[in-house]
Amino acid sequence: MHIHDYEKLWLGLSLVMIVGFIATVTYGAVGAGVEMIDDSGDTVDPNSLADHPEFGDPGVEQVGPNEYDVHVIARQFVFQPDPIVVPANSTVTFYVTSADVTHGFEVVGTNANAMVIPGEVAELTVEVNEPNEYGIICHEYCGSGHHDMEGLLRVVP
């Protein structure tokens, strides 16, 4: 009886490993050559951000009654736009990418933070409740100006 249980356990583990392996291979294949240039994609060409429909003019866009999308470009050593201004009591999704090297994007004092990697779009959604101001900092070393790389998130009434 116990042996039978172990067999089922091992069979289950094997299946998990096989599925994980397939997922890894598939993901790797997608990451290798596909370049999706749109809002919902998770990759972007860092060399043509100026021509991108959203990153070409990064900023805040209202997408629902209390919902906003914010496209942000991190580059040595600024965040664009700066400041980012959004209304209180809303849901805000940041789409952040880099124009040069790997940066970080962290809204100070919140749990909102992400690695910002050239070619990839970091997506993070936050709820903003009360009017306030938050610093935005880069938490990945990105060059001589890293320690001064700051932005501002302004939540307005």
Q: Which of 54, 71, 103, 121 binds ligand CUA (CB under 6 A)?
A: 103
Q: How many residues lie near ligand CUA (CB under 6 A)? A: 8
Q: x/- binding map, residues 7-26, to ligand CUA, per CB under 6 A?
A: --------------------
Residues 128 and 136 sit within 8 Å (Cβ to Cβ): no
Burial letters 58-88, b for 16+ CB under 10 A, else e: bebeeeeeeebbbbbbbbbbbbbbeebebee
Q: Which of 54, 69, 106, 140 binds ligand CUA (CB under 6 A)?
A: 140
Cβ neighbours around 121 below 10 Å, total: 24
Q: Which of 24, 141, 148, 154 binds ligand CUA (CB under 6 A)?
A: 141
Least separation in angstroms between residue 34's CB and ligand CUA is: 26
Rounded Cα distance between 90 and 92, Å, is 6
Residues that bind ligand CUA (CB under 6 A): 77, 103, 138, 140-142, 146, 149
